[in-house]
Structure 1
């Protein structure tokens, strides 16, 4: 099949070819060869070449110091064999090395010396320079200087100032330094500081700003390494010049002076080859090449269009035919079919979006009788309709209070939609897994427990209760919907697998599911065979997440936040249950039951995990008979 270009890329390619035919030619003026050095120059141990230039080499054709060859802001001052790059409005920075391949230069503040160097300015780039910070190599340190507390401004007890004597003696008041990602957000304490300075540095490993070594000398070690800036940020005028083997010249004011060519001439935008017959013949040659290229481009685009019609539509029709065949074979099972026009009318032309996922978008709608619905519009399909067939085939075979109801579907050309009952309370993720510190969408322990039991019953039904056994493969909070009474309903069966009841092992084409909830055997055969126990693992991870997210104090516990949560909860089970329930004995037992069941479900070996039938029994039974799983689980 021929390569397909989008209309945007087709127009872009055509524009570039036409631009090549019509770009400006050299004006015929000449320049003094000393204006642009043909050889690199060296200062100390560092070699420089275009686009760098000596700050003293700023001459135009008349010898006036108002033009130069190179990029604005790239002038080098060689001071006693020490190369310095002057950053606009900041000062001179020592050049340590140059990486021409990546267009990066490593620089350092020459005043950043001593064991605890002081800082007195931010580093920013003005409009007259092309230098910028490369995101891949630059981090930042944030300094809060000359801080005085009082008049309602209280320093948090966890913050300690810089302690080294050299810094303290040079800056009055208390001063603090933090990695950019660790700046405390609590309170208004930063208002007590006279100045806040952001300093770029090379990326560094994780640091603890509360550590005394960091406050005394550690930040200085990071600061002295300097940082990188990139010069690969050119305007179109300079790009055209350099692509024609020219070099860009600029005026002191920052205006483009011209393109300096190897034959000593100055082009308006780029360099052209001059010969004895003058410029006219050169222009004719360029126009001829551009005309031929345009014709070839049109032929190529026509070939692309023919290929798309022949192969693209054939692929679509093949996929649609496969789905239609499935629907015909299962005509008594699948729900009502709607046209795309009906779907648009139900959703008022997709006016209200409820959510967005990898499958596509979900919109709110209603039937003519006022019944509320949710319409899932599937994305342009990349498979042969497997997700669509899985969803229709799976849910059509189910009827359970904890399984979402599929009302209908749409299959019309490339348009595919699934229609469900509307769930006014959204997904479980919306209520149990947001920041509880701001209030609002939180659920009590009793309601969370009821939801966990309902999900378990729904999975038990999928694994044992319906005519064809179904393994979901994507159990996670986002796929648990809550109705008006917060009754949970399992949804999104796009990855589901239908099996015969007698089957235990399941064959799948590759890993499927969501990172964090995928059972080990799904992505590696060394952990065993894939089965319905894979859903048990996902359920266990979700229950443990429900437990951890419900307690807003867990995120503030430094020990738990730096440790794998199942490991931490295993080792602190009793104290956590008591603190989470606020000394309420009944809730303590509820929390303990959810944790123990969750830990059993995430056993590495599928044979050690309970079935969903056993999970329901454990949740509905007495806590006193529940035992913790072996700790080897976490090795």
Structure 2
């Protein structure tokens, strides 16, 4: 018996000794170094210096020594970042900016999807108060606000190195409401979204925590199994571990142990009987069974409740469709939608509303099919979109060709716009877009958008307020003619109603009119769309700035106000102009019209009918508007000026 146990122990010892691969046997120990003799992070696997052996690290983790700093290039276009700390135990490292302006470095920062490291991100916890922000990177929206006021709200984080006196560049969570900005409310434009490091700071005088931007970016790398050295190891049912002694990864194959047959053991007194084991196993099985039954009952009740709610919602949708048979287009089954999209094979885009797929109707007409992701909701957006756009027929409004309204599976079918959205062109830095979008083309696009909005306000049986005019919602056909789309938050009202009521702010930050989120500026009306149109035109014009004007973030952030000052002082607008006289006249006209449209008070803005007349006229016939960036008091004193604009 003893000899058999000794034989078994010897067999286990032999089969569990770690074995190195043949490729590792000839490798010498990898060096451990620093860029600075007494300071700076230790450089070891997976990090490596340029002259270290190839097996001593990974090319993506190659670092450089410069002025006693350890530098790393995070992507092909990122430049070099100095490393502050490397934590090998938790596989994390911190980088910073030597000029103390990390947000500027991260504006155009991207890391390849196949990179072995990535920005540590936990998102933004929408269920907690903003003061409970994590000490990690969060997806934030950058706003360019024309104001001298220092924001101190918990969810508004100023970026001092990008701001100048009288102007604020701030970062806010995507879920931030515009009402959280302290008054008087500024005029803000959106720079985009990016991940920025966030940390909590404690204010002892106020006994509370606030969020502020950190100056250190935290990155992390995946477990060793994702490294090339471990691919064959994990595929061969082994484990890959780091050997600190030689500073290398090693593969430890799992042992295959065959246990010899042993005689039945002799149990001493007091051993656990088979009866006790059966009772214990039976009790555990009963507990698991009860738990499984309880979970099944819970999900069954939840499914039944959702089913009842969906039936009620479907009744609501069917009632609406029956009441508006003469206004809605062709209805398709969900099976038809699958055939039209060839099984949802080619996706054109995706957003909070759902996904858009390319398809073709039975008659061969190419279409875009939007499958709504909130089909289990109350169907309000679906009813709103079909009921609104189904009755519209205008060259500058996208045409609704059909829909599917089966319970839980709703979709809408639009004419296909081959050139996608306007946003793709005005945000692109591709110089070839200049040939596609000369100033005459931009002028025609702006006129088309204005005529489309005028039709929504005046050309339908009921006035349609869009409430979300922005570049993403302007689609371009094969001739680059604009078409307004996405009526999910639109609202119908009679033409006689100059004022409407809404229960909550709607639209996109940067394009929302002030009165939509603050009643002190006036009542919500069709003039709210006029404001959004003005911000859209300024963004279109701002996309054609010369390189000299866009060299700094300050000019980028406050372009509308700079343009207004140039007009007042009779200076050149600083735009890309090919045909100097013709292009300059078009640009001046677009800017003046846009500045009229973004007046803070609705009464100071022209109607869309007046806007169309202004755009079709000459720039020398336009009157300069009041300063839309002045204080609320000075803006309110100009209430007599728009009367001339309305009738012009």
TM range (shorter): 0.5 to 0.7
Structure 2 vs 1, CA of residues 440 and 364 (structure 1 numbering), >3 Å: closer, same or farther? farther
Alignment of 1:183-582 (within 5 A): 290-381=284-375, 383-437=377-431, 442-553=436-547, 556-558=550-552, 560-561=554-555, 563-573=557-567, 574-577=570-573, 579-582=575-578
Q: Distance in 1 between matches of 2:217 and 2:280?
A: 41
Q: CA deviation at 1:384?
A: 1.3
Q: CA deviation at 1:535?
A: 0.5
SS in 2 for 1:410: strand
Q: CA RMSD in A?
A: 4.5
Q: Does the CA-based 8 Å contact 2:310-2:408 persist in structure 1?
A: yes
Q: CA deviation at 1:482?
A: 1.4
Q: CA deviation at 1:562?
A: 5.5
Q: Deviations over 1:573-595 (max 9, x none)?
A: 35444643246212111100000
Q: Distance in 2 between matches of 1:437 and 1:493?
A: 32
Q: Distance in 1 between matches of 2:215 and 2:609?
A: 61
Q: Deviations over 1:606-627 (max 9, x none)?
A: 1111110110111111211212
SS in 1 for 2:576: helix
Q: Deviations over 1:188-239 (max 9, x none)?
A: xxxxxxxxxxxxxx9997659xxxxxxxxxxxxxxxx9989999x999xxxx
The correspondence for 2:625, drawn from 620, 629, 634, is 629
Q: Distance in 2 between matches of 1:328 and 1:474?
A: 28
Structure 2 vs 1, CA of residues 398 and 603 (structure 1 numbering), >3 Å: closer, same or farther? same
Q: Distance in 1 between matches of 2:45 and 2:352?
A: 47
Q: Does the CA-based 8 Å contact 2:370-2:411 persist in structure 1?
A: yes
Q: CA deviation at 1:120?
A: 5.8
Could you tell me which residue of structure 2 aligns to residue 152 of structure 1? none
SS in 1 for 2:505: coil
Q: Does the CA-based 8 Å contact 1:355-1:363 persist in structure 2?
A: yes
Q: Does the CA-based 8 Å contact 1:365-1:372 persist in structure 2?
A: yes
Q: Distance in 1 between matches of 2:457 and 2:215?
A: 59
Q: CA deviation at 1:125?
A: 8.9
Q: CA deviation at 1:436?
A: 3.5
Q: Deviations over 1:483-529 (max 9, x none)?
A: 22222111111111011121111111211111111111112222221
Q: CA deviation at 1:475?
A: 0.6
Structure number, greater radius of gyration: 1
Q: Deviations over 1:263-291 (max 9, x none)?
A: xxxxxxxxxxxxx9799999999867754
SS in 2 for 1:324: helix
1:608 aligns with 2:564: no
Could you tell me which residue of structure 2 aligns to residue 140 of structure 1? 96
Structure 2 vs 1, CA of residues 316 and 626 (structure 1 numbering), >3 Å: closer, same or farther? same
SS in 2 for 1:631: coil
Could you tell me which residue of structure 2 aligns to residue 131 of structure 1? 90
Q: CA deviation at 1:338?
A: 0.8
Could you tell me which residue of structure 1 aligns to residue 69 of structure 2? 119
Q: Does the CA-based 8 Å contact 1:482-1:489 persist in structure 2?
A: yes
Q: Report the TM-score when normalising by structure 2.
A: 0.58
Q: Deviations over 1:346-387 (max 9, x none)?
A: 111122222222211111111233212111111133641111
Q: Distance in 1 between matches of 2:386 and 2:223?
A: 53
The correspondence for 2:586, drawn from 579, 584, 590, is 590
Unpaired segments ≥5 residues, structure 1: 1-83, 92-115, 143-175, 186-201, 209-224, 236-249, 256-275
Q: Report the TM-score when normalising by structure 1.
A: 0.59
SS in 2 for 1:391: helix
Q: Does the CA-based 8 Å contact 2:593-2:615 persist in structure 1?
A: yes
Q: Distance in 2 between matches of 1:331 and 1:605?
A: 40
Moved more, 277-286 or 610-619: 277-286
Q: Distance in 1 between matches of 2:273 and 2:602?
A: 80
Q: Does the CA-based 8 Å contact 2:475-2:484 persist in structure 1?
A: yes
SS in 2 for 1:364: strand
SS in 2 for 1:580: coil
Q: CA deviation at 1:426?
A: 1.5
Structure 2 vs 1, CA of residues 278 and 206 (structure 1 numbering), >3 Å: closer, same or farther? farther
SS in 2 for 1:511: coil
Q: Deviations over 1:376-431 (max 9, x none)?
A: 11113364111111111111222211111111111112111111111122211122
Could you tell me which residue of structure 1 aligns to residue 233 of structure 2? none
Q: CA deviation at 1:121?
A: 7.6
Q: CA deviation at 1:542?
A: 0.4
Structure 2 vs 1, CA of residues 513 and 180 (structure 1 numbering), >3 Å: closer, same or farther? closer
Q: Deviations over 1:151-173 (max 9, x none)?
A: xxxxxxxxxxxxxxxxxxxxxxx
Structure 2 vs 1, CA of residues 425 and 333 (structure 1 numbering), >3 Å: closer, same or farther? same
Count of matched residue pairs = 431
Structure 2 vs 1, CA of residues 543 and 227 (structure 1 numbering), >3 Å: closer, same or farther? closer
Q: Distance in 1 between matches of 2:293 and 2:602?
A: 59
Q: Does the CA-based 8 Å contact 1:554-1:560 persist in structure 2?
A: no
